[in-house]
Structure 1
Amino acid sequence: MNKSHELRWGGLAGIGALVVGAVGRLVMGNAPSITEPTMTIAGYLAGYRAQILAAATLFAVALMLFLWFGVALATAFRQADEGSDTPALVLAGFVLVTAIGFIGVSVFAGMTYAMTANPALLAIASGPYTALTVMGGIAGIAVAGLFAAMAAAIMRTRAFPVWMAWFAVAVAAVRLLAAILVGGGSGALRPDGPLTLILPGLLTAAWVLAASWLLIREHLPVPSAGTRPVMGH
């Protein structure tokens, strides 16, 4: 398998991560907000136990595909400029974000199983449920760092169109702002609100989709001395 085909598989993995992740979110159903009463959260965990465990498995698969996508991106950056440190930084960012994601979904699945197997624990369901939501918000700092690294890599290597770098900067800024607001926001700015969870998630997904399409659509030439390929041109 040549390098261009490997990168295309990485692009397919990125799209697969989005699709599997979206299916997992649909399987979870209408998850309650952290502002809902403990009884509502407990009822959700008890009533959707099987769906939550299935969704956690799907999220784990999506995270593996996301890491594969990240490896393809790091490879594209390295091919474009072998002397740059940014490909290693991008790969490290993907490993960090994926590890945090695995911890989050595993703890959520384990918490759900334990509490539903021991119903007395459902009385405190809102505590760990809220804690995991806040953890996800703070983890946005790691995502912001990853997108900042990808923006720097694009600017350095020109492996992707420059507008993808500015798009990555925007995603990083929104993610960072959402993480900063996680401790004091309310209403739309609460940790699971539309401006701190939904908007950053949609922007992230749009960037991943665009990068995946560029990886699938393009054959990356092996750069000769003094030249750098630009995807999408």
Structure 2
Amino acid sequence: MDERSWERVGAASGLAAAMLLVVAFVVAPGAPGLDARTAAVVGYLGDRRAGILTASLLVTLAAVAFLWFVAHLRHVLQRAEGGAEAFSPVVLVSGVSLATVCALSMVPLTAMAMLIARPVRVGDIEAVRVLYGVHQLSIGPVGLLVALFAVSTGAAMVRRELAGPWLGWAGMAVAVIGLIAGVGSFFAAPSGIVMFLAYVLGIAFALWIAAASVVMLLRPEVERVTAARGVFAR
């Protein structure tokens, strides 16, 4: 394949990641906050076990697809920056870190779904509570990594190094939501409001990635006729 085709594959991987993420939110909605009673957590896990396992798989697949998309962004930005290495390293590192943390955050959720499938004992309930806390507290790191990825990618978009400025400003808005959700989770153990912000962040991030992917699918960056400005050039 030529470079145009490879760029379309890279853009399509972002769209795939966004779609998988949205479906994951749909199949396992209504997770209680960390301040919920243990009985409510156990009840949620039991009632939504199939959906939770499906969501865990979908988020993991979304993380894999997102890694390909991040590699595509790195390639495009490195070319646009003409070797200045301004935003492309931050986009790469934050994107890889975000995918890794998201995938790892689903391991406790999968373990809980497995535990709840057998007769529940006192020890299992305690283990479920701890694992649920680990899963919920991942909102903090995920939110902050989303903020870093969105602000760095958005800044590159605003500078017309990628996609378009309007997508860049949308990315800045996603970054603000991520920052609020991420910082908030450290000061208020994921309560109802933090969980709501986490869902809003997930959907907003997925829609932003999907929009950027569609733009790059319709017009691969290699087809741009305007020369990219060097970030540090005067």
Q: TM-score, normalized by length of structure 2? A: 0.83
Q: Contact 1:20–1:62 at 8 Å: present in 2 too?
A: yes
Report the Cα distance in structure 1 between the residues aligned to 2:139 and 2:43, rounded to whole angstroms. 22
Report the Cα distance in structure 2 between the residues aligned to 1:190 and 1:183, rounded to whole angstroms. 13
Q: Contact 1:93–1:142 at 8 Å: present in 2 too?
A: yes
Report the Cα distance in structure 2 between the residues aligned to 1:206 and 1:163, rounded to whole angstroms. 14
Q: Are residues 1:51 and 2:54 paired?
A: no
Count the aligned residue pairs: 226
Q: Are residues 1:72 and 2:68 paired?
A: no
Letter in 1 for 2:100: A
Report the Cα distance in structure 2 between the residues aligned to 1:220 and 1:110, rounded to whole angstroms. 42
Structure 2 unaligned spans of 5+: 230-234
Q: Are residues 1:175 and 2:191 paired?
A: no
Q: Are residues 1:159 and 2:146 paired?
A: no
Report the Cα distance in structure 1 between the residues aligned to 2:222 and 2:111, rounded to whole angstroms. 46
Structure 1 residues 186 and 62: alpha-carbon distance in aligned structure 2, compared to 1, 3 A threshold: closer
Q: Bigger relative contact order, structure 1 or 2, given CA contacts below 8 A and separation 6+? A: 2
Report the Cα distance in structure 2 between the residues aligned to 1:136 and 1:46, rounded to whole angstroms. 22
Q: Are residues 1:113 and 2:124 paired?
A: no
Q: TM-score, normalized by length of structure 1? A: 0.83
Structure 1 unaligned spans of 5+: none
Tell me the residue number matched to 1:89: 90
Deviations 1:45-100 (A, max 9, x none): 23433332232112111111111121222222122223121212211111100110
After TM superposition, list the pairs within 5 Å mapping 1:128-139 onto structure 2.
Answer: 128-139=131-142
What SS class does the counterpart of residue 222 from structure 2 fall into? coil
Report the Cα distance in structure 1 between the residues aligned to 2:182 and 2:221, rounded to whole angstroms. 35
Q: Contact 1:17–1:62 at 8 Å: present in 2 too?
A: yes
Deviations 1:133-168 (A, max 9, x none): 122233211111111221333345623322222222
Tell me the residue number matched to 2:232: none
Report the Cα distance in structure 2 between the residues aligned to 1:197 and 1:49, rounded to whole angstroms. 21
Tell me the residue number matched to 1:26: 26
Q: Contact 2:140–2:182 at 8 Å: present in 1 too?
A: yes
Of 20-29 and 212-221, deviating more is 20-29
What SS class does the counterpart of residue 158 from structure 1 fall into? coil
Report the Cα distance in structure 1 between the residues aligned to 2:151 and 2:206, rounded to whole angstroms. 16
C-alpha deviation, 1:29, in angstroms: 5.0
Report the Cα distance in structure 2 between the residues aligned to 1:162 and 1:228, rounded to whole angstroms. 13
Calculate percent identity across the aligned residue pairs. Answer: 23
CA RMSD after TM alignment: 2.7
What SS class does the counterpart of residue 119 from structure 1 fall into? coil
What SS class does the counterpart of residue 20 from structure 2 fall into? helix
C-alpha deviation, 1:104, in angstroms: 0.4
